[in-house]
Every structure is written in C-alpha cells, then in structure tokens.
C-alpha cells in the first residue's frame, strides 16, 4: 500500500477530492508536513471562460490532528488560473481552516469540544 493510500484513511476526505499529495516530509523529529497541491481542474464557477493553469499562490500551512506524537501540518498550494482572453487571474476560495485559526476545521471542532 502506498503512503498516499494510507493517508486517505487518516485525513479529511475532501482534501483528496480537490488536492494531490505531492510530498510527505518529516521536518523535525516531531513534525510531519504533508504537501498538497490543488488538482489541475478549472473552477466550475468560471466554466464560461477559457482558463489556463498559471502556477500557484503562496503555500498555506494548516495544522491538523497529531499522528503518533507528531504534529501534522498540511502545506497547501492553491492553483491560479489565467483567463486566456482577458489576462485576469482567478483562484478558488477554499475554506480549509476554522475561522480565525490555522487549524483544520475537524481539529478545531475537536479542540473546541475538548476545551469548550
């Protein structure tokens, strides 16, 4: 079983619907970084435009549930799209974190329930 297959059982399902796991990195002895890139699928809300993939925004770091005493962070890169006709740049708006935090929604809900 590949590591990406195993992680599908441990991480939020919606991540794999829209993102690809590109790298798993142990940055320190107690930190695991999971690098995710948005899939090369144009945003459906702009299906009337001729969009071309135009690189990525700066990565965002999101903390998730720890695994085996390791802090887990998603390093997420959102794709930028360029309208071929107008040159305007678009990107999807993802709500991957809980409001006002850098935690995944599931992890923030867990902490809120635990600590009130």
The count of structural domains within the chain is 1
Determine the Cα–Cα distance for residues 53 and 96; give it in Å rounded to an integer: 21
User: Can you give the residue range of the structural domain that contains 12?
Assistant: 3-115
Alpha helix (H) residue ranges in the chain: 3-10, 13-18, 105-115
Q: What is the pTM of this model?
A: 0.75
Determine the Cα–Cα distance for residues 30 and 82; give it in Å rounded to an integer: 39
Q: What is the pLDDT of residues 34-80, one digit of tens each?
A: 898 989 988 888 888 899 999 998 998 888 888 888 888 889 898 99
């Amino acid at each position: 079983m590949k590591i990406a297959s195993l992680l599908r059982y441990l991480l939020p399902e919606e991540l794999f619907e829209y993102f690809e796991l590109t790298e798993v990195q142990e940055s320190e002895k107690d930190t695991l970084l999971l690098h995710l890139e948005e899939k090369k699928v144009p945003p459906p809300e702009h299906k009337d435009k001729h969009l071309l993939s135009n690189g990525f925004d700066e990565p965002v770091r999101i903390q998730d549930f720890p695994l085996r005493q390791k802090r887990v962070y998603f390093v997420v890169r959102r794709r930028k799209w360029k309208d071929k006709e107008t040159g305007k740049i678009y990107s999807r708006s993802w709500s991957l974190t809980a409001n006002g935090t850098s935690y995944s929604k599931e992890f923030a809900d867990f902490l809120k329930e635990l600590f009130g």
